Amino acid sequence: MNSRRNFLSGSVATMLGAALVTKAGAASLPEAPLQSSAATMPPLMPPNGRPYNPVVTLNGWTLPWRMKDNVKEFHLVAEPVVREVAPGMTANLWGYNGQSPGPTIEVVEGDRVRIFVTNKLPEHTSIHWHGQELPNGMDGVTGLTQPGIAPGKTFVYEFIARRPGTFMYHPHADEMVQMAMGMMGSWVTHPKNPAQHRVDRDFVFLLNAYDIEPGARVPKVSTMLDFNLWTFNSRVFPGIDPLVVRQGDRVRIRAGNLTMTNHPIHVHGHSFEVTGTDGGWVPATARWPEVTTDIAVGQMRAIEFVADAPGDWALHCHKSHHTMNAMGHNVPTMIGVDHSGVAQKINALVPDYMVMGDKGGSMGGMQMPLPENTLPMMSGDGPFGDIEMGGMFTVLKVRTGQARNDYKDPGWYKHPPGTLAREWTGPMPAADAAKAPPADVNTLDVKRGSMPGMHH
């Protein structure tokens, strides 16, 4: 895990935008830092402006700014990027400043924010600041509140970040294509008082999805629901970093959903409360305990809990296909199908053929060659073998000895004696369990309309 990589070394600023903007405007533009790594970067401690407790963007980074006349100035460059979805697979996406999703923007309640947006895409774009209360003309809806930012042009947005909370940014121009291509980023407005809503570890990521044909690199932008890569911040397990916390830490996880379906996010080993929604912070009296929270399309949720249970806890979307990587959605079920004789026949024609799926979907650690630039349907090795997961799955690692601001992966949890499920090796009951009666084929052979008790 490269999450400890020095932030500055990973974000060596490249004056990307400078080449595009006019000479007259260049002098007044802040630099547009570039991120080339898909690893989780450590929190960016605010060098100036109002103090706040920074977030950690899962497999992402926070965009540095400059203060000018008491205004926080950011520079986003919309451009094609190559994103590593997991080791072994890259995607040609559209993003911001070298990555998709783009960098997280962190500001403090009441900050005046000026964001320069340079368009290096082949078509016009815009940015909508999802959830912000701002002047209508800063809302970034092409045609409605502004013209599109033409390729090569730079627009500037300016408003005051009024309400603290969790937000997102994404285009409101050709958004079907641009969001399918990965144009999005997180936005966190911290409260003016750093002590308010204070947590020990504050994670943020977006739920997004892509349909990239195995062997291809560009997402299919016309796919509506049948995606094959369900991602946290455009990463799939085992490419997603774990959420590393110290035992007893108060943990916040902020997630925004920019896919086209809902995601019930489930945390093992702990119960949590939903403390924030799109509308703001939930009053303490209105919070209820959960172990799963459904994040609907276009929504954001902040959940909080005290990580009191040490261990390696699964954290995932509860839609089981969403914890898979690229898989065939039209593959027939083979369970229970006798292959004797047929397998040899098929082998005579297709020598590399192996029977799969007749006993279920588990591939039992089979290492078979796959098409280029794709990932196994489920993979990721754990201390006890194949985790058989992909997609929107990661691990919450709660450790006793983890240092306060240390996000380094501590390795696999070592279970104290007597706390691990184990094989029963004692005596078994003498009698076999009663066998199910054989299915009566005649009960299935009913003529249409002749079913007893059916009324027309």
Partner 1 sequence: MKYPIACAMATLLLGGCASFSPDGGFDTVTSATRDRLGKDTRIVRTDADVAALAGTLAPLLATPLSVDSAVQIALLNNRGLQATYQRLGVAEADLVQAGRLQNPRFGFKRSHEGSDVLVDRSLTINLVNLLTAPLATRIESRRFEQTRLQVADAALTVAADTRHAYYGALGAAQQRTYARQVSDAAEAGAELGTRMAKAGNWSTLDMAREQSFHADAITRLAMADKDVLASREKLVRLLGLDSASAFTLPDRLPDLPVAAIALKQVDQIALRERLDIQAAKLQLQATAASLNLTRSTRFVNALEIGGVRNSASGNPPETGYELSLEIPLFDWGTARVAKAEATYMQGVHQLADTAIAARSQARESYGNYRVSYDLARHYRDQVMPLRKRISDETMLRYNGMLMSVFELLADAREQSGAAHGYIGALKDFWIADSDLQAALGGRLPSAPDGEKK
| Interacting residue ranges for partner 1, rule: CB under 8 A | 214-215, 326-328, 330-339, 341-342, 345-346, 348-350, 352-353, 356-357, 361, 363, 368-371, 374, 376-377
Q: In terms of CB distance, is 12 or 335 closer to partner 1?
A: 335
**What is the C-alpha separation between 282 and 279, in angstroms, rounded?**
9
**What is the C-alpha separation between 333 and 368, in angstroms, rounded?**
20
Tell which phi-psi region holds residue 382, choosing left (phi > 0), alpha (psi between -120 and 50) or beta: beta
Radius of gyration of the chain (CA): 25
Q: In terms of CB distance, is 262 or 373 closer to partner 1?
A: 373
Q: In terms of CB distance, is 39 or 212 closer to partner 1?
A: 212
Nearest distance in Å: CB 260, partner 1: 22
How far is the CA of 311 from the CAs of 184, 389, 400, 416, in angstroms?
A: 33, 18, 9, 10
The H or E element that residue 429 is part of is none
Q: In terms of CB distance, is 150 or 342 closer to partner 1?
A: 342
Nearest distance in Å: CB 217, partner 1: 15
Contacts of 295 (CB under 8 A, 6+ apart): 207, 255, 256, 257, 262, 263, 264, 265, 301
Q: Where does residue 214 rank: exposed (0-12), middle (13-18), buried (19+ CB within 10 A)? A: middle
Q: In terms of CB distance, is 351 or 418 closer to partner 1?
A: 351
Q: In terms of CB distance, is 13 or 331 closer to partner 1?
A: 331
Nearest distance in Å: CB 211, partner 1: 13
For the chain, the residue count is: 456
Q: In terms of CB distance, is 148 or 376 closer to partner 1?
A: 376
How far is the CA of 356 from the CAs of 228, 320, 371, in angstroms?
A: 20, 20, 17
Nearest distance in Å: CB 334, partner 1: 7
Q: In terms of CB distance, is 216 or 306 closer to partner 1?
A: 216
Cα 185 to chain centroid, rounded? 11
Nearest distance in Å: CB 331, partner 1: 5
Contact, 243 vs 409, CB < 8 A? no
- The token duo for 274 is 């939903």
SS3 category, 107: strand
**What is the C-alpha separation between 155 and 160, in angstroms, rounded?**
17
Nearest distance in Å: CB 437, partner 1: 16
Nearest distance in Å: CB 207, partner 1: 23
Nearest distance in Å: CB 84, partner 1: 19
Nearest distance in Å: CB 239, partner 1: 17
Contact, 324 vs 390, CB < 8 A? yes
**What is the C-alpha separation between 131 and 290, in angstroms, rounded?**
24
Q: In terms of CB distance, is 332 or 429 closer to partner 1?
A: 332
